[in-house]
Amino acid sequence: MGENRDYITRYETDGTVNISTEVVCAIAALAANEVEGVCGLSQNRSAEIAELLGYKSLSQGVRLTAQDDAYSIDCNVVIEQGHKIPEVAAAVQAAVASAIESTTGIQVAAVNVNICSIAAPKKNG
């Protein structure tokens, strides 16, 4: 269907809906970044190289894995210093699951939050 992308197919009464897994990951990344205490998502080496080559992906730091009729999401999070990790992680889990399920209708089995780094808050001035 596309340029080497994986799609999640939903069968509706009027036909099928194909949602790119990259779109689902982008929704998760946007939701995670909106949580207070999250500085961003940690990208892997291949994403860093792609960015150097001029490619930008909203889904960096997120991985989607199929589990029967549902999906598991892994988010690699950079947290801001001074925030409680369990509280931020729980908020990320809730925000990501809610965003994916309400936007796509895809069932989320689990949201795994990996705290990959901690960042000092930016100084004003």
The greatest distance separating any two alpha carbons of the chain, rounded to the nearest whole angstrom, comes to 57
* Token pair listed for 5: 């992308």
As a whole number of angstroms, the distance between CA 56 and CA 11 comes to: 31
Q: Could you report the per-residue pLDDT of 5-24, keeping only the tens digit for each? A: 689 988 889 999 999 999 99
Sign of the torsion formed by the C-alpha atoms of 8, 66, 103 and 83: negative
* Residue for token pair 């099928």: 16
Rounded Cα gap, residues 69 and 115, in angstroms? 27
State the number of CA atoms in the 13 A half-sphere of 89 facing the CB.
14
Q: Cα Rg for the chain, rounded, in angstroms?
A: 16
Q: What is the pLDDT of residue 50?
A: 46
In a domain, 1, yes or no: no
pTM of the model: 0.82
| 21-60 tens-digit pLDDT | 999 999 999 999 999 999 999 875 444 544 554 554 556 8
- CATH at residue 16: 3.30.70.1350
* Total structural domains within the chain: 1
Any domain includes 2: no
Q: Answer yes or no: is 47 within a domain.
A: yes
124: pLDDT strictly greater than 70 = no
Containing domain of residue 19, as a range?
7-119
In a domain, 32, yes or no: yes
Q: Are strands 62-67 and 38-41 parallel, antiparallel or unpaired?
A: unpaired
Q: Which residue has the higher pLDDT, 66 or 97?
A: 97
